Amino acid sequence: MTQNTSMRGTLDQIITNASGLYEGNLIPYFQIVFYKAKNVNHPYHNFRHMMHVTYLCHDACQFYANTLNKRQMRTLLIAALFHDFDHRGTLGEDSLNILLAIRGIEKYVLPDDKPYLADIIDLIQATEYPYKTASSDLPLSQQIIRDADLSQSLNSAWIQQVVFGLSVEKQKKPLEILKSQRDFHQSLKFATEWAHTLWPHELIEAKMDEAANLLKILEM
């Protein structure tokens, strides 16, 4: 059973668990990411992206408050914070980035969370791209983190993050990335009811139109 009554908090409220949604708080993990992560200034896989995914996973936890228990929510949010920890921000196999993220959480996992480390790692591995397992075959928490990770192109800051950010990391021109947005959005498939509520097909089509119109403007 789901409930669509999410109230989005600010980042500090999410990190401190001001609403009491999940177990404990994320303060030590946020401090680690803030002070220790090597990728916070990358063009795309940066601090903003890690917080964006965490923010959305928290929103999904509210949506699925009658489905996920507090421990599952905590595990999901830790994985969201660390899913791109120490990402290289360059071309290459994503498996290495996943390995770096796993090494990060293995190094910094708190004693109370250590019994759930395997679950956190499974969630991080679900974000490896290209995907090895269809989203429909994943458990709910893994579907959530994958949907959250995919959604950056639908955010209001998508031009900076995706068009310019990914162009640097992929060593392509921004125009190439912009031209690729239509194909990306046409193949974009969210797995969860939560994601379909946030990003219905009409919104995805509108983003495709926005990208197409920007291309026309640039080519005038």
In this predicted structure, the answer to whether residue 6 has a pLDDT above a threshold of 90 is: no
pLDDT in tens, 87-106: 999 999 999 999 999 999 99
In a domain, 5, yes or no: no
**Cβ–Cβ under 8 Å, residues 73 and 22:** yes
Domain encompassing residue 18: 11-218
In this predicted structure, the answer to whether residue 1 has a pLDDT above a threshold of 90 is: no
The CATH number linked to 73 is: 1.10.1300.10
In a domain, 173, yes or no: yes
What SS3 state is found at 66?
coil
Residues 2 and 144: their CA atoms lie apart, in Å, by: 13
Angle, CA of 85, 86 and 89, to the nearest 5°: 110
Average predicted confidence (pLDDT) for the chain: 95
Q: What's the number of domains the chain is made of?
A: 1
In a domain, 30, yes or no: yes
In this prediction, residue 7 carries a pLDDT of: 64
In a domain, 171, yes or no: yes
Interval 184-209 mean pLDDT: 97
In a domain, 1, yes or no: no
pLDDT in tens, 58-75: 999 999 999 999 999 999
**Cβ–Cβ under 8 Å, residues 140 and 68:** yes
Which position has the token pair 């680690």? 32
Distant-in-sequence, close-in-space partners of 80: CB < 8 Å, separation ≥ 6: 50, 53, 54, 56, 57, 123, 145, 148
In a domain, 81, yes or no: yes
